[in-house]
Structures are given as C-alpha cells and as structure tokens.
Amino acid sequence: MGDGPAVEVPQGRIEAHETLGETRCEKQRLYKREYMRRWRASLGRQTSERARRRSAYYARKERELLADASPVCDPDGAALCGYCGIRRAVEDVARLEISADAPDGYVKVRIPYCGHC
Ligand SMILES: [Zn+2]
C-alpha cells in the first residue's frame, strides 16, 4: 500500500466534495431535529407517553411492594442482597432515595449488597 491516494484528485474538488457532504449532513440534522420536534409535539404521542409512564410507575410500585414481601434473610439468618434478593450480602452500599421530608430532597440509605448485581 502506498502512502498517498491511488488517484490524484485536484485540491479544489476535494474541498467541494467536503462542503457538499457537510451541507448534506446539516440538512439531515435539521430535518431530524424538526421531525423530532413534530413527533414530541404530537398530542397522540404525548397521550401515549403519559399512559406509558403511568403504567411504568405502577409496575415499579408493584415490584417494590413484591420486593418488600420477599425475605431479607436466607434460612440460615444471613442477610440477602437488597437488589437481587438471591445471593448473600457481603457488604452494605449507600444509595440516595428521594424523600419529600429531607431538606435537599434525598435521604441516604444503606442497602445490603452481594457484590455481583
Ligand atoms: Zn445481588
């Protein structure tokens, strides 16, 4: 393989080619931006997004309730991981939890952790 291009192209043609590519990219970027604006502004999409978020919120609440119902200790009495609930916890990790009562809106909680999740 040689160091230079296989075919000699005059410098002016390369610059024109780059400018055309940049113009095409800019047009494509503007088109995509306007498309996404229209897509986000669509009432049908906003309604479906609201429904999706509401459903995800209730699904998360249900998961949290079920997780609370799961045992936190194995039959030998050792603490289980707070994330997977399967393996034994080997350490506690700190996590911020949203709280309306806290002055900065977050409370630090310690969660048993297995080291794998
Ligand atoms: Zn785990």
pLDDT at res. 70: 61
How far apart are the C-alpha atoms of 98 and 50, rounded to whole Å? 21
Q: What spacing in Å lies between the alpha carbon of 106 and ligand 1's midpoint?
A: 23
Give residue 26's pLDDT band: very low, low, confident or very high (50, 70, 90). Answer: very high
pLDDT at res. 2: 47
Q: Which of 116, 112, 115 has its CA nearest to residue 67?
A: 112
3-state secondary structure of 76: coil
Q: What spacing in Å lies between the alpha carbon of 3 and ligand 1's midpoint?
A: 54
Q: What spacing in Å lies between the alpha carbon of 111 and ligand 1's midpoint?
A: 10
Please tell me which of 14-23, 52-61, 68-77 the model is most confident about, judged by mean pLDDT.
52-61
Q: What spacing in Å lies between the alpha carbon of 74 and ligand 1's midpoint?
A: 13
77 has a pLDDT exceeding 90: no
How far apart are the C-alpha atoms of 62 and 55, rounded to whole Å? 11
Strands (E), the chain: 91-98, 106-113
**Which residues touch 113 (CB under 8 Å, ≥6 apart)?**
81, 82, 83, 89, 90, 91, 92, 93
Q: Which of 77, 97, 100 has its CA nearest to residue 89?
A: 77
Q: What spacing in Å lies between the alpha carbon of 112 and ligand 1's midpoint?
A: 8
Q: What spacing in Å lies between the alpha carbon of 117 and ligand 1's midpoint?
A: 5
- The pTM (predicted TM-score) of the whole model is 0.38
Count the neighbouring beta carbons within 10 Å of the beta carbon of residue 88.
Answer: 14
Q: What spacing in Å lies between the alpha carbon of 77 and ligand 1's midpoint?
A: 16
Residue tagged 């296989």 (tokens): 6
